[in-house]
Amino acid sequence: DTVRRFAADLGFEDCRFTSPVLGDALSEYRDLVQTDHIGAMAYLRRHLHLKENPSLLLPEVRSAVVVIKNYKNTTQKQLPQSRKIARYAVGQDYHLVMSQKLDALAGHIRHLDPTVQTYCGVDSRPLAERSLALKAGIGFRGRNTMVIKPKLGSYFFIGIVLTTAAIPEDKPKPFTCGTCRKCIDACPTAAISELGTLDPLRCISYQTIEQKAA
């Protein structure tokens, strides 16, 4: 509870705990890599073995602390500007903001028990943050493949602190999207399938962020 309280003081909307071992939860990721359906994202192949075996990042790791930070910075559903900026990109680089907060949280964990070690990061490090968030019960997997937290949505960053401390696990959320398919109908490139999988090479985010060619 003291870790959750400290996380809340840092401005995180939720803090939950799980085992860092994911097993079959990475099967979809493995399929993308094995079928070479990752385009310019060669780092996904380089990171796979680290996500499968987090002890390569932190020897004797026993727990993953999962936190989220909301980035829904406006109540407007649509932004009026002709050239739009993604909500998550408004303001400071989230990697820097999240890293500072995660370092503080990791320091608090080590203060509680000086014998433990930590390793933390966001999506720029080889951590399966989305899969860990689902396993920890931050939210449920939506048809758009995003983690959806009831009453908050999916507009949040996910941060991970791996630790050698043994922390009791939280349970996954049983919620689903039900019959809702708004994301499938709204996707302009049909990147989201009826089965709730994503074709990353069709996704506009891939084209504007990951794909470096014209």
**C-alpha to C-alpha distance for 50 and 77, rounded to whole angstroms:** 38
Cα separation of 159 and 90, whole Å? Answer: 18
- Selecting among 123, 170, 185, 199, the annotated active-site residue is 123
Q: Is residue 123 flagged as an active site residue?
A: yes
User: Reading across the β-sheet that carries 14-18, which strands appear in turn?
Assistant: 14-18, 63-70, 156-163, 118-121
8 Å CB contact between 4 and 52: no
CA distance 46 to 51: 10
Q: What is the 3-state secondary structure (H, E, C) of 167-192?
A: CCCCCCCCCCCCCCCHHHHHCCCCCE
Positions marked active-site = 123
